[in-house]
Amino acid sequence: MAWGGGWGGGPGMGGGGHGHPGATGTTGLPFGGIPQELMDGVRRIVSAEPTHEPKDLPFTQLPSADEARRLTLVRMVRSHSSLFVLATILVTAIAAASQAGPALVGYAIDHGMRPGHGSLRTVAICAALYLGTAGGAVLFQRWQASVTGRLASRVMYDLRVRVFTHFQRLSLSFFTDEKAGVLMSRMTSDIENLQQLLQDGLSQFAIQGLTMVIITIALFSTNVTLALWTVLLVVPVLFVLTVWFHLNSEKGYLRARDAIADVLSDLSESLYGIRVVTANNRQRHNIVHHRNVVGAYRNANMYTGEIMSVYGPSTIGIGILSQALLLGLGGHMVLRGELSLGGLTLFILYLNRFFQPIQLLVQQYNLLQQGRSSITRLRELLETRPDVDESPTATTLPPITGRLTFDDVSFGYDPERLVLAHVSLDIAPGESVAFVGPTGAGKSTLAKLATRFYDPTAGRVLVDGIDLRDVTLHSLRSQLGVVPQEPFLFSGTVRQNLRFGRPAATDAEVDEAVDVVGLRELIDRLPEGLDTVVHERGQTLSAGERQLLALARAFLARPRVLVLDEATSSLDLRSETVIERALDRMLEGRTAILIAHRLTTAQRADRIVVVDQGGVTEVGSHHELVAAGGAYAAMYRAWIESGGRDAGR
């Protein structure tokens, strides 16, 4: 993820626009200023740069009326109507200017080259006009390419932002169910297909279509009989061939479309899991699998290629055949005085051109098909409603004290298979509760319901007595903090990562968070302290360090309710002590749910909740549960017997 002028909003980040020569950044290299001798050059470059006004982009969970409209090519283009109108005018001008040639040749032959009545003037005028119209067509084409290029770029910009915004609205379940690679292919190959279609495809279609109309008119106005012969001979054969091509190529495109999505998702999975792949010696297996996936894509493309290889040359064949027929038929008519020599030349020249658009259309047909299926898939994506959606009547959640209530909650990821059944639990404001229990019991699921990543299948989850479904997601999440088991760090500086939940936090507040969670030692060790760049997903930091950064991030966001999924990976004793101390500070005065994998963490909570077999089986303080002699007491005994650390899972 690139930071650009994006979400951190911190000093030195440019705020969305491009930097200006006087800017001094507080991140990165120390800025010594621009040398005087370079200043003129810099000013020149900057003045030529297009301005990117920082746009105020409001984000609402519910799409605006514009965003909710069905995605169609026409709608996308219509929002840039002036460019579209200009492109249409230019396309018409190109088609007309490029087809003037044969008519001028025919006129020049009949009126300027008649034996005994030749007129050099007529020939010269026709030649000059030919040159003029051909030159005009070239100029119009140059202009049209620039206009459609601009139109395509703008439409694609709108579409990319729209799809990305839609991703931000979708629920966790969507991203769990869909493969990341498939989603990436929506943003890459699908959008690129459309870009190509808009940039070259549609204008070519329009130009070639218009050309065919102009040529047909020209043929009929020259000689109806010959034109009828031509049309009757050529059109039916072409029609049958085209229907055959359409049916078969459609099959090929569908196959290719599915195959490329598989290629991308296999690629992204392999790259994402490269450590596991290497550690398990799965390289060969992965290559074999990828070869199969890529092979399916190759086969699909080869199939489409085969279809094209029949259609393309067949149309050329029909073209040549009809020219030969025309020469015979037309020549006969000339000899009988029913057609002028210029008329026959015009016919032969136009017929040649009649097939050019068909050839081009076949080449562009690929683009049209791909563009059409891309639109369909993007439309399906944009019409996917989030499972966890905001009700149109949702209100803003007022500042909460932090009482959390599970009221007879049942839930299943698949509604047929319940993971939790009839769970009722009340967590008082400021109370910390640890969820313990066997793996897969439903601890994380309970936490996901508390943060409304999912909605219960039955029952209610309430915060301060208000059903989570009755408030806006933004107002709810701004008062909740979540520290996931595997904290995610974005590429950017440590400071930007810490400010993620509250971009407006001051430097002093960032420093405080660093001290509170005990990150100071790490920060001092980093080459540029808080301004050190961490790489994507924080791979350059240790698991414990990432956990501490996530804690500091949550601390800085100051949530009223904190949900913390403890890392399962074993940390060394020192890191554990640091994290436990950080936790104590974090929990002060906040309602907290701790999904505890270590019993030392569970003991820090005010109450312990044992989750097992889809329900809450024990609730009480550490001492109460040990005294009660149930499942928790057994877990605790096993832990003590094994030395007291790490055995509590």
Residues in contact with ligand ATP by CB under 6 A are 176, 413, 419, 437, 439-445
Query: Min. distance of Cβ 15 from ligand ATP in angstroms?
Result: 38
Query: Min. distance of Cβ 433 from ligand ATP in angstroms?
Result: 14
Q: At 510, which amino acid appears?
A: V
Question: Which run of H or of E encompasses 619?
Answer: strand 615-620
**β-strands 492-493, 533-534 pairing:** antiparallel
Whether 8 contacts 504, CB under 8 Å: no
**β-strands 420-427, 404-411 pairing:** antiparallel
Query: Min. distance of Cβ 260 from ligand ATP in angstroms?
Result: 26
Query: Min. distance of Cβ 602 from ligand ATP in angstroms?
Result: 13
Query: Min. distance of Cβ 642 from ligand ATP in angstroms?
Result: 18
Query: Min. distance of Cβ 447 from ligand ATP in angstroms?
Result: 8
Question: Which run of H or of E encompasses 563?
Answer: strand 561-565
Distances in Å between the Cα of 199 and the Cα atoms of 84, 195, 496 are 12, 6, 38
How many Å separate Cα 170 from the centre of its chain?
Answer: 12
Query: Min. distance of Cβ 72 from ligand ATP in angstroms?
Result: 34
Of the pair 151, 461, the CB lying nearest ligand ATP is at 461
Query: Min. distance of Cβ 441 from ligand ATP in angstroms?
Result: 4
**β-strands 432-436, 480-483 pairing:** unpaired
* Both structure tokens of 256: 């290719």
Of the pair 245, 454, the CB lying nearest ligand ATP is at 454
Q: Which of 600, 647, 608, 645 is nearest to 630 (CA)?
A: 608
Of the pair 37, 416, the CB lying nearest ligand ATP is at 416
Whether 403 contacts 426, CB under 8 Å: yes
Distances in Å between the Cα of 643 and the Cα atoms of 455, 571, 637 are 40, 16, 10
Q: At 72, which amino acid appears?
A: T
The count of other CB atoms within 10 Å of the CB of residue 428 is 14
Query: Min. distance of Cβ 271 from ligand ATP in angstroms?
Result: 22
Backbone CA torsion sign across 441, 444, 449, 454: negative
Of the pair 280, 613, the CB lying nearest ligand ATP is at 613
Can you tell me which residue has the tokens 């370079």?
A: 38
Of the pair 357, 437, the CB lying nearest ligand ATP is at 437
Of the pair 357, 442, the CB lying nearest ligand ATP is at 442
Of the pair 229, 413, the CB lying nearest ligand ATP is at 413
CA distance 411 to 625: 26
Of the pair 355, 411, the CB lying nearest ligand ATP is at 411
Of the pair 176, 281, the CB lying nearest ligand ATP is at 176
Distances in Å between the Cα of 49 and the Cα atoms of 34, 45, 53, 570 are 18, 6, 12, 52
Whether 595 contacts 447, CB under 8 Å: yes
Of the pair 30, 440, the CB lying nearest ligand ATP is at 440
Backbone CA torsion sign across 155, 159, 162, 165: negative
Of the pair 214, 482, the CB lying nearest ligand ATP is at 482
What angle, 0 to 180 degrees and rounded to 10, lies between the N-to-C axes of helices 573-587 and 543-557? 10
List, in sequence order, every residue forming a beta bridge with 563; answer none if it has no partner: 482, 593
Cα angle at 163 between 159 and 169, to 5 degrees?
145
CA distance 334 to 173: 75
Long-range CB contacts (< 8 A, 24+ apart) of 332-335?
Answer: 333/223, 333/225, 333/226
Of the pair 329, 423, the CB lying nearest ligand ATP is at 423
**Which stretches within 499-595 are classed as H helix?**
507-517, 520-525, 543-557, 573-587
Query: Min. distance of Cβ 431 from ligand ATP in angstroms?
Result: 20
Query: Min. distance of Cβ 610 from ligand ATP in angstroms?
Result: 11
Query: Min. distance of Cβ 172 from ligand ATP in angstroms?
Result: 8
CA distance 514 to 533: 16
Of the pair 12, 412, the CB lying nearest ligand ATP is at 412
Buried/exposed code over 562-588 (b: 16+ C-beta within 10 A; e: otherwise): bbbbbbeeebeeebbebbbebbeebbe
Query: Min. distance of Cβ 281 from ligand ATP in angstroms?
Result: 27
Query: Min. distance of Cβ 414 from ligand ATP in angstroms?
Result: 7
Query: Min. distance of Cβ 49 from ligand ATP in angstroms?
Result: 46
Of the pair 443, 622, the CB lying nearest ligand ATP is at 443
Q: Which of 453, 457, 460 is nearest to 476 (CA)?
A: 453
CA distance 478 to 210: 57
Of the pair 81, 176, the CB lying nearest ligand ATP is at 176
